[in-house]
A and B are shown apart, each in its own frame.
Chain A
């Protein structure tokens, strides 16, 4: 199985901050990496697919980069609606696997 490791597991930030979350795969996965945002009591929603493609309807302050084993999700200017938990997920091979999550708190 491909293990996905996110860091940090949690972070505290303020509105307007630039936030970076990293995700490392246990083996190369090309660009097959997706990012999700989940708020309490809600289903996850996809933000970024294929490492760097912005899902339709997602604000442009979200961006993704990376390839191979190392990936990054960046929020350029944190907004109140962005306080949530973020997950990476690899779609390179089954079993499809998720990172452990990064909780972004005020």
Chain B
């Protein structure tokens, strides 16, 4: 059974870099049928897509965050990671990693999600 697990600090200081890793088990991150994504949700608010990465390294980012975001993949560890620089209180949110369907080279739904991890930006 596919599982995704986020890990990383729960508290980050303003202006510093938020770093999270998603470990994938039960499937290979090198599958050609999926992208791997980060999504966030401020407490009590809606969902915001951050970006996707393919096993080969190609990425898509949300333009609203693009200047601050880097998503990378480590196929040897079956992991992918998120870095968000220059964080502010507005970046406080639950951060989810998820698998994005990519059948026939077309993006589909986020069909598996990690449980999420809360990241608070505060001094």
Could you list which residues of chain A lie within 8 angstroms of chain B, going by C-beta atoms?
1, 32, 34, 36, 42-46, 49-50, 55, 87, 89, 91, 94-101
A99 surroundings in chain B (CB, below 8 A) = 46
Note all chain A residues with C-beta closer than 8 A to B108. 32, 34, 49-50, 91
Mark interface residues in B94-123 (1 if CB within 8 Å of A CB, else 0): 001010010000111111011110000000
Cα-based distance from A89 to B46 in the complex (angstroms): 11
- Which B residues lie within 8 Å of A45 (CB)? 113
Main secondary structure of the interface of B (DSSP, over half): loop
Chain A contacts of B110 at CB under 8 A? 34, 36, 44, 46, 89
* Residue B11 lies at the interface, judged by CB distance under 8 Å to chain A: no
- Whether B64 lies near A91 (C-beta < 8 A) is no
Cα distance, A98 to B46, chains bound together (Å): 8
Cα(A91)–Cα(B49), bound, Å? 11
Which residue in chain B gives the minimum CB-CB distance to A92?
A: B107
Q: Name 19 extra pairs, CB < 8 A, besides A43-B114, A44-B96.
A: A32-B106, A32-B108, A34-B108, A36-B47, A36-B110, A42-B115, A43-B116, A45-B113, A49-B111, A55-B111, A87-B46, A87-B47, A89-B109, A91-B107, A91-B109, A94-B62, A96-B52, A101-B46, A101-B47
Compute the total of residue contacts between A and B using a CB distance below 8 Å. 62
Nearest residue (CB) in A for B47 is A98
A-side contacts of B47, CB under 8 Å? 36, 44, 87, 89, 98, 101
Tell me whether B109 and A94 are in contact (CB under 8 A).
no
B64 and A95 contact, CB distance less than 8 A: yes
Can you report 5 residue pairs joining A to B where beta carbons are below 8 Å apart? A32-B107, A43-B96, A50-B108, A87-B47, A96-B52
- B64 — nearest CB in chain A belongs to which residue? A95
Q: Are A95 and B62 in contact (CB under 8 A)?
A: yes
B91 to chain A, nearest CB (A): 17
Chain B residues within 8 Å of A97, by CB? 49
Q: How far is the CA of A87 from the CA of B45 in the complex (A)?
A: 11
C-alpha gap A97/B63 in the complex (Å) = 12
What is the bound-complex CA distance between A28 and B45, given in angstroms?
26
- The answer to whether B46 and A96 touch across the interface, beta carbons within 8 angstroms, is no
